[in-house]
Amino acid sequence: MKNPFSLRRRANLARPWRWLVPLLLVLLFLAVLFWLPWQARQMETTERQEQLIADTLWVEQTLRFELTRSEEALATLGTDLVRKPPPPAVLQARMAQMFKNGPELRRVLWLSPDGEVLARHGSDLPQDTPAPSLTDTQEMARLTRAGRYTEPYGAGAHSPALLDYYLPLYRGGAYAGSLVATYSLKVLLDETVPWWFAQDNALSLLDRNDAPVAARADGGPGRGVYTHRRALDLPGASIVLATDSVKNAPRLLPNLLVGSVIVLALGLLMSLMTLWRHISRTLAAEAALRQQMAFRTAMENSLMTGLRARDLEGRVTYVNKAFCEIVGLPPEELVGRKPPMPYWAPEVRGDYEQRFAGVLAGTVTPQFETVFQRSDGVRVPVLVFEAPLVDSRGKQTGWMSSILDITDRKKAEELNRQQQEKLETSARLATMGEISSMLAHELNQPLAAISSYTAGALNVLERADKGVPIEPTLLRRALEQARQQAQRAGQIIKSVHEFVKKSEPQRETVDIHSVVDGVRALIELQTRQSYVALQINLPAQLPPVLADRVMLEQVLLNLTRNGIEAMAGVAPERRILQITAAADAAQVSVSVIDHGHGIAPDVAERLFSPFFSTKAEGMGMGLSICRTAIEFHGGTLNHAPNPDGGTVFTFSLPRSTAAGAVELQ
């Protein structure tokens, strides 16, 4: 049996600990009550300082962006001035637009290599002389061949500080002058800094000696509590953006203890209520989420479009049923796997690796066509759409892809291409059917001439049999004329054969002169038959185009035939068919100009529609095929009224890239 005295002693010894624990809790509670406001004050101070730093950085970037935008505008203007100076009125208009886009601009000068002012825009300034450091800036800019700023200058009691930007110009590596832009730092602050920031902060721009050259303080002077300095990254200039907040340091809450107890009590009650509501909403959200997940799974399994999700490292995180059917692999072999993927086709593996490098770099091609290889080796053409995958906080976590199986579409496109080729061949045969009578008439002339010359040669030989001496010169001239006429007939037949024969479209570097020469004989057949004068005016140096020669010849022959037929009812002296060409930096244009009856507005609306024709015997496919052929080469076919009467048909084709490369060398 235990001693009662020892039990009582043990209880007395444990009693202080029973009081000590609540006391420690109370002290801890009081410490927390005093520490939390102080910590909140410190956090608020830190937050205000960090917000000021972030806002100052944003303002600095805004100022730099405004100056960069002006630098780019000056660079564009300088490039045009070096390449081909515009007229003075156009130059002044462009400078005026720069002033409209940048209110901080005060003056723009165009200087010659000798420093002579070639053009200027802007109001005269009190400091209408270059900055003191402009000479050094000019020399440094010429050496580096890049624009540089001067140090701020001209700051005074009644005059704003100015900043000059010097941009050297070069033509073929030689110094060709310069552009000098003058900015008002005060206007730059007033126009660029938002009003809400100027209300809460006093801003100033400081030079290298920390002297203010421009300031703005809409909300009054700063208190010196929250300050930050940020240097503007301007080549050649040392300018610092200084911000000073007008806010004071935060204060501690009054009636700290009473307020804390009340707030804690109310907070406890609200926490309990919030916890109960949160639990109820969580249960309801979980039930809704399960329902939504079941609905989404059923919807995705019913889609014909394949879905694939990847993280920022290219690892597959999700695939749906349709995607698995396209590639012929189960989800277990795809989810969690990084490239190379098993459905990559060997022949396009390089494209896959290039696109995967883009995924790792954070950029993807939004839409592209490629080929997947199923597990059984069958190639599947697909159309892929890529979009960023963003979480609830707006942070990108990967990429989402939609994959369409376009096998049926590719088959339809191939069938359409074959039908188009058949239609073009039929059109060429129809064209030759229309000119067959003219061809027979044209061939009769050289054949008759050959018969006459050979008959003359036989007569010479017969007289030689009777003892008359042979004249070699006369016999040679007759045979030579017969040979020339035979070559002419052969050339006509060869042109017709090359035009009519069926061949696959083959793009090659084609000279417009050779295209015109290829069908010139056929065009002349039609013009002589209709008593039309043919005028061909092609520049000697026309850049080549990448096209199918036969298709271009068909287009040209159809357009010239239409022009000849359009002039059937006009006076003979007006029957002039012109073929002209021109080229610019991007394309080559060929025009067929007639002086016929023109095209009515209601006819012009349906002129290129298939099976529409103004001829009683026409099929209505000529111009439609012409436009299709030109658009196949990435060009355009248009028509316009001829100011002298008639119509101008013009087709334009992109210049050959190979030719462009040669011209740049």
pLDDT score for 621: 42
Q: CA-CA distances (angstroms) from residue 122 to 92, 111, 418?
A: 10, 15, 64
How far, rounded to the nearest angstrom, does the alpha carbon of residue 77 sit from its chain's CA centroid?
A: 22
Q: Is 30-249 a domain of CATH 3.30.450.20? A: yes
Q: What is the residue whose two structure tokens read 């590596």?
A: 173
Instruction: Report the pLDDT averaged over residues 565-593.
Output: 90
362 vs 440, residue with greater confidence: 362
What pLDDT digit, counting tens, does each position of 269-295 carry?
677 677 778 877 888 888 888 888 777
Instruction: Report the pLDDT averaged over residues 231-240.
Output: 88
Alpha helices in 171-255 (DSSP H): 185-192, 195-200
Crossing angle between the packed helical segments 622-632 and 549-566, to the nearest 10 degrees: 150
What pLDDT digit, counting tens, does each position of 495-546 carry?
556 555 545 556 788 999 988 987 787 788 778 878 899 999 999 889 999 8
The DSSP output letter for 153 is: B
477 vs 573, residue with greater confidence: 573
DSSP state letters, 468-491: PPP-HHHHHHHHHHHHHHHHHHHH
What gap in Å lies between CA 545 and CA 510, rounded to an integer? 5
Instruction: Report the pLDDT averaged over residues 4-26.
Output: 55
Predicted TM-score of the model (pTM): 0.37
Instruction: Give the up-direction half-sphere exposure of residue 460: CA atoms within 13 A in the CB hemisphere.
Output: 17
What gap in Å lies between CA 151 and CA 190, rounded to an integer? 20
Give the type of residue at 500.
Answer: V
pLDDT at 122 over 80: yes
476-481-483 Cα angle (round to 5): 95
- Phi and psi at 579, nearest 5°, equal -120, 115
For 269-281, letters b (16+ CB in 10 Å) and e give eeeeeeeeeeeee
What gap in Å lies between CA 639 and CA 618, rounded to an integer? 20
Relative to beta strand 316-319, strand 212-216 is: unpaired
What gap in Å lies between CA 170 and CA 312, rounded to an integer? 44
- Phi and psi at 94, nearest 5°, equal -65, -40
Helix (H, G, I), strand (E, B) or coil at 203: strand
Q: For residue 241, give both structure tokens.
A: 């953006």
What gap in Å lies between CA 180 and CA 74, rounded to an integer? 9
What gap in Å lies between CA 530 and CA 636, rounded to an integer? 29
What pLDDT digit, counting tens, does each position of 190-229 carry?
888 888 888 888 889 888 888 888 888 888 888 888 888 9
Four-point Cα dihedral 414, 418, 421, 425, nearest 10: 180
Q: Is 629 exposed, middle or buried (0-12, 13-18, 19+ CB in 10 A)?
A: buried
pLDDT score for 167: 92
What gap in Å lies between CA 71 and CA 93, rounded to an integer? 18
24 vs 636, residue with greater confidence: 636
User: Domain map of the chain by residue range?
Assistant: 30-249, 258-300, 303-405, 406-502, 507-665
Is the Cβ–Cβ distance between 532 and 562 less than 8 Å?
no
Percent of the chain at pLDDT > 70 equals 75
Crossing angle between the packed helical segments 436-465 and 407-434, to the nearest 10 degrees: 50
Helix (H, G, I), strand (E, B) or coil at 600: coil
Instruction: Report the pLDDT averaged over residues 156-178.
Output: 86
Q: Is 303-405 a domain of CATH 3.30.450.20? A: yes
Percent of the chain at pLDDT > 90 equals 9
What gap in Å lies between CA 633 and CA 424, rounded to an integer? 15
For 516-548, letters b (16+ CB in 10 Å) and e give bebbbbbbebbbeebebebeeebeeebbbbbbb
Do domains 30-249 and 507-665 share one topology? The answer is: no
pLDDT at 578 over 90: yes
What gap in Å lies between CA 556 and CA 522, rounded to an integer? 11
Of 66-80, 299-313, 471-485, where does the model show the most confidence?
A: 66-80
Pick from 156-165, 173-182, 613-622: least confident: 613-622
Q: For residue 329, give both structure tokens.
A: 């692999």
pLDDT at 315 over 80: yes
Q: Which residues contact 639 (CB under 8 A, 6 or more apart)?
A: 599, 604, 607, 647, 648, 649, 650
Instruction: Report the pLDDT averaged over residues 20-32.
Output: 65
pLDDT score for 661: 36
Taking the CB of residue 550, how many other CB atoms lie within 10 A of it?
23
Q: Which fold has domain 406-502?
A: Helix Hairpins (1.10.287)
pLDDT score for 306: 82
Q: Is 507-665 a domain of CATH 3.90.1150.10? A: no
Q: Which residues contact 355 (CB under 8 A, 6 or more apart)?
A: 364, 365, 368
How far, rounded to the nearest angstrom, does the alpha carbon of residue 577 sit from its chain's CA centroid?
A: 40
Helix (H, G, I), strand (E, B) or coil at 7: helix
pLDDT score for 544: 92
